[in-house]
Amino acid sequence: MNEEKTRIEDINRAFYDFRFDDRDAYKVQSGLTQEIVEQISREKKDPDWMREFRLRSLDIFHRTDMPDWGPSIEGLDMRNIVTYVRPNTERMHTRWEDVPEDIKSTFERLGIPQSERTSLAGVGAQYDSELVYHNVREEVAAQGVIYTDLESALHGEYADMIREHFMKLVPPTDHKFAALHGAVWSGGSFVYVPAGASVEIPLQSYFRLNAAGAGQFEHTLIIVEEGAYLHFIEGCSAPKYNVANLHAGCVELYVGKNATLRYSTIENWSKNMYNLNTKRAKVEAGGKIEWVSGSFGSHVSYLYPMSVLNGDGARSEFTGVTFAGAGQNLDTGCKAVHNAPNTTSYVNTRSISKDGGVSTFRSAVVVNPQAVNSKSAVSCQSLMLDAKSRSDTIPAMDIRTSQADIGHEARIGRISDDAVFYLMSRGLSEEDARALIVSGFAENVSKELPLEYAVEMNNLIRIEMKGAIG
């Protein structure tokens, strides 16, 4: 009998791999020196405190060791990374028509303006190191919601607020790449949602890295005041090059009393990308942070969104899916720190490994002594699609009070024969049954996204089954 093993295709990346010639207006030399950091600071017209902050961060970067506990990042040589690339446009635009043609074409192919018209309250688009477009709907702005690029905010009426919050949740001393971010950050969004405001439809920032050998270091700062609601979506992609690219962004989220922030990410960087991103949220009493995370791209990822539950009754939910294919080593997960009574954290993740891909789920739950009556539940499931791949689960729990309920469960396995048998007994072919199980495996994330993005994510996965079942 001619048999062919069930085959699940890689994510089809052709859609994202187009690129335009590197016609940037300005870029610094590759490498990382004090001169380069000062040059970036001059370009950005930083206030004095920010210039000093950058230099202090650079000093911390040089004094901090590389992480010794995750995937290898030996292929990343900072001497070859260009830390600042200004695209060929003089300023940020608020009218789509004004964005330069090749940049506009990039985002149109990614469907950004179309999404803005149909399903978003506002859009920010970053190309290499700078925001090129930012817009927010009038009715949202009328609620007092601010959605702008971080640099404009740094020089405008929110300057003091930025100074008060910038890199306070993720200090440059946090790890080596947080220090790097502090030294060379550029671009990113600032969102302020005043007390009681509810942004019913999402805001989105899309980050596109076009230049070969470049780094992107955008900073996202979101402040959601008491009782407010916001859904923020972040998308990332880049064309594939033969040299290493680096993404060391930073996301700081401040969730006020009884406020809710949903932060969704669909990450599809190219497979030459080192994605060393840091995300952290601080949640006050009664507030809630909801992370929805899809990790599909990158050569190497270190990504662990962290929730610091600081107020009584604060909650966090993390829902994630990671798909590691050939040449990818994706180390993802999350952390939850319970710092107050009656706090709750819930983690639900899926990971899929195939074609030699490595996926690692790494989590930490810390319940401090004051966090009495706290609850935490962590569930992670991993699917191995072949014996060339690897899937690891490394959770840690540190519990310092008896008045807590902590549950953890994890499972690694392959597609269940029983499930296939059941579906076949309902009339599906074995091939269809396996395809259904694999696509359903990632449903925990897709069902949490707005419909348009769930469809996009399903397209992104493009799981195909073919051949007879062996």
Partner 1 sequence: MTDRQTITVNRPLANTFGWLHVNGTRVEAPESTRALPLTLAAGEERTVLTEGADASLEISAELAEGAVLRLIQVRRSGGPAQEINHVRVRCADRARFEWYRIVLGGASTLDDCSVTLEGRESAFEAEIAYRLGGEERLDMNCEAIHLGRRTRSEILASGVLREKAFKLLRGTIDLRTGCAGAVGNEMEDVLLVDDTVRNQSVPVILCSEEDVEGNHGATIGRLDESLVFYLASRGMSPEEIDRMMAQAKMDAVLRKIPDAAIREALLEETRA
Q: Which residues bind partner 1 (CB under 8 A)?
A: 67-70, 304, 335, 362, 364, 366, 369, 372, 382, 384-387, 389-414
Phi, psi dihedrals of residue 343, rounded to the nearest 5°? -90, 155
Do β-strands 203-208 and 130-136 pair in parallel, antiparallel, or remain unpaired? unpaired
Of residues 41 and 345, the one with the C-beta less far from partner 1: 345
Of residues 235 and 305, the one with the C-beta less far from partner 1: 305
CB of 298 to partner 1, least distance (A): 19
CB of 392 to partner 1, least distance (A): 5
Give the separation between CA 209 and CA 245, rounded to whole angstroms.
Answer: 9
Of residues 311 and 357, the one with the C-beta less far from partner 1: 357
Give the separation between CA 385 and CA 439, rounded to whole angstroms.
Answer: 13
Of residues 258 and 322, the one with the C-beta less far from partner 1: 322
CB of 365 to partner 1, least distance (A): 9
Give the separation between CA 236 and CA 266, rounded to whole angstroms.
Answer: 7
Q: Tell me if 252 sits within 8 A of 222, measured CB to CB.
A: yes
Annotate 406-443 with DSSP letters as a single string.
EEEEEEEE---HHHHHHHHHTT--HHHHHHHHHHHHTH
CB of 198 to partner 1, least distance (A): 35
Structure tokens, 8: 């699940």
CB of 175 to partner 1, least distance (A): 8
Q: Is 79 helix (H, G, I), strand (E, B) or coil?
A: helix
Give the separation between CA 213 and CA 241, rounded to whole angstroms.
Answer: 8
Of residues 394 and 469, the one with the C-beta less far from partner 1: 394
DSSP secondary structure code for residue 284 in this structure: -
Which residue type does 94 have? T
**Cα angle, residue 264 at apex, residues 188 and 70 outer, rounded to 5°:** 80
CB of 68 to partner 1, least distance (A): 7
Bridge partners of 85, per DSSP, are 27
Of residues 50 and 334, the one with the C-beta less far from partner 1: 334
Of residues 314 and 384, the one with the C-beta less far from partner 1: 384
CB of 192 to partner 1, least distance (A): 30
